[in-house]
């Protein structure tokens, strides 16, 4: 049986057997495998030139940063999931990869050379992050060279998505502005509910509660997680590149809105059940409130972007004229 199908989905095809591949395809796969192995050794043995963590590996440096929540303000614990999401996207579009026209493209060689130079610059500057970004460019450039632009085009999103693995320390500078924004808007909304509240810096002070929106509560961690989640959600749900980018950019205010909802909910629980419960047990579990609000807004915005307003206006116009 050439193909095994379940509910119209191909699980296995004889086309995937090595014996069904042409000689050129086998050679290209072999070359790519060898190059990937060499790249792994390069970045494992000569990837980290800046810090001594008992390893010269860029991968060890990156994984150490994923688990560092003290000296590194942003939370990159979601980094473990990112490569699996990229692989999942490739698997989901596997039929497109098989159908794409394949040929050697010299432009891919230029990308490989540029990525290797980028890694050299990162090593000289003692910037492991630059080296990791160069690795992502190499992961995209190698298939580009061996299989051509059509394959490279399909790999743009899965490879670019790997950027969410790279700890970017400059994002820590966003922590304090996010604290101020969240505190200011929460203060206005709490007062708008008729609850007496004053704002002192990043503190919310009321006769019923006292909240201090510290750096871990700034929303930076949720912002990083929401942008990663929204990127893949936009890729699958939006029909045009403009809509994909628009939903991705909107993930920033969506994450901020989720954090504001979390702060307000802590204030309300403190009023109803006491400060000890509100800023204690509930505070520790209120991240679920944040992501519930943020994910709901993300889905709602995606639905709004997908509305065919021209067709909707035509229907409204037709209904209006029929009743005139």
**DSSP codes joined into one string, 14-69:** GGGSGGGS-HHHHHHHHHHHHHHHHHHHHHHHSS--S--SS---HHHHHHHHHT--
Within a domain: 80: yes
Domain final residue pick, 144, 167, 190? 167
Average pLDDT across each block of 10 residues of the chain; the chain has 324 residues. List them in order.
Answer: 46 50 71 75 70 68 73 67 91 88 88 89 80 89 89 93 83 76 86 84 81 71 85 91 92 87 86 80 78 88 83 72 64
Tokens 């060279």 locate to 145
44 and 111 inside one domain: yes
- Residue 159: the pLDDT is 93
Domain final residue pick, 167, 195, 229? 167
Within a domain: 148: yes
Sign of the torsion formed by the C-alpha atoms of 169, 217, 228 and 243: negative
203 and 287 inside one domain: yes
185 and 294 inside one domain: yes
Q: Is residue 202 a contact partner of residue 214, using CB atoms and an 8 Å limit?
A: yes
**Closest C-alpha to 62, from 198, 166, 158, 152:** 166
- Residue 154: the pLDDT is 93
Within a domain: 321: no
Within a domain: 323: no
Q: Is residue 167 a contact partner of residue 74, using CB atoms and an 8 Å limit?
A: yes
Give, rounded to a whole angstrom, the gap between the first and last alpha carbons of the chain: 62
Within a domain: 228: yes
159 and 179 inside one domain: no
133 and 220 inside one domain: no
Bridge-based pairing of strands 210-212 and 9-13 is: unpaired
Within a domain: 318: no
89 and 118 inside one domain: yes
153 and 234 inside one domain: no
DSSP state of 9: E
- Residue 150: the pLDDT is 92
For 275, the token pair is 């400060």
257 and 276 inside one domain: yes
Q: Which regions of the chain does DSSP assign to beta strands (E)?
A: 3-6, 9-13, 198-200, 203-205, 210-212
Domain final residue pick, 122, 147, 167? 167
What is the SS3 assignment for 137?
A: helix
**Closest C-alpha to 145, from 117, 111, 168:** 111
Q: Which residues contact 21 (CB under 8 A, 6 or more apart)?
A: 29
DSSP state of 4: E
242 and 208 inside one domain: yes
Bridge-based pairing of strands 203-205 and 198-200 is: antiparallel
- CA–CA distance from 155 to each of 90, 96, 208, 216, 299 (Å)? 8, 11, 54, 35, 25
- Tell me what percent of the chain is helix, strand and coil, each rounded to the nearest 5: 75, 5, 20
Within a domain: 229: yes
Q: What is the Cα–Cα distance from 22 to 239, expressed in whole angstroms? A: 35
198 and 211 inside one domain: yes
What residue numbers bound the domain in which 106 lies? Answer: 3-167
Q: How many domains does the chain have?
A: 2
Q: What is the Cα–Cα distance from 97 to 85, expressed in whole angstroms? A: 17
214 and 111 inside one domain: no
20 and 141 inside one domain: yes
Within a domain: 319: no
Give the pTM: 0.77
CB crowding 105-137: b at 16 or more within 10 Å, else e: beebeebbeebbebbeebbeeeebbbbbbbbbb
């Amino acid at each position: 049986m050439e193909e095994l199908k379940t509910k119209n989905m191909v699980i296995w095809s004889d086309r995937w057997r090595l014996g069904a591949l042409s000689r050129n395809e086998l050679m290209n796969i072999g070359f790519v495998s060898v190059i990937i192995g060499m790249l792994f050794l390069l970045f494992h043995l000569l990837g980290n030139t800046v810090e001594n963590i008992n390893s010269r590996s860029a991968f060890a440096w990156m994984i150490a940063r994923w688990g560092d929540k003290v000296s590194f303000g942003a939370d990159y614990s979601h980094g473990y999931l990112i490569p699996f999401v990229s692989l999942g996207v490739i698997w989901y579009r596997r039929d497109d990869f098989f159908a794409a026209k394949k040929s050697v493209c010299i432009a891919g060689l230029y990308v490989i050379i540029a990525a290797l130079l980028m890694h050299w610059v990162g090593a000289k500057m003692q910037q492991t992050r630059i080296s990791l970004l160069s690795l992502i460019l190499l992961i995209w450039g190698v298939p580009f060279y061996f299989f051509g632009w059509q394959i490279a085009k399909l790999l743009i999103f899965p490879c670019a998505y790997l950027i969410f693995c790279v700890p970017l320390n400059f994002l820590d500078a966003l922590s304090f502005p996010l604290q101020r924004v969240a505190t200011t808007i929460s203060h206005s909304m709490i007062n708008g509910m008729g609850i007496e509240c004053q704002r002192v810096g990043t503190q919310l002070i009321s006769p019923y509660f006292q909240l201090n929106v510290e750096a871990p509560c700034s929303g930076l961690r949720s912002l990083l997680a929401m942008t990663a989640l929204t990127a893949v959600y936009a890729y699958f749900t939006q029909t045009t590149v403009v809509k994909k980018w628009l939903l991705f950019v909107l993930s920033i205010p969506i994450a901020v809105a989720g954090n504001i909802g979390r702060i307000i909910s802590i204030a309300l629980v403190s009023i109803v059940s006491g400060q000890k419960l509100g800023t204690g047990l509930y505070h520790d579990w209120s991240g679920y409130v944040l992501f519930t609000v943020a994910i709901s807004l993300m889905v709602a915005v995606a639905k709004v972007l997908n509305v065919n307003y021209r067709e909707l206006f035509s229907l409204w116009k037709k209904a209006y004229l029929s009743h005139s």
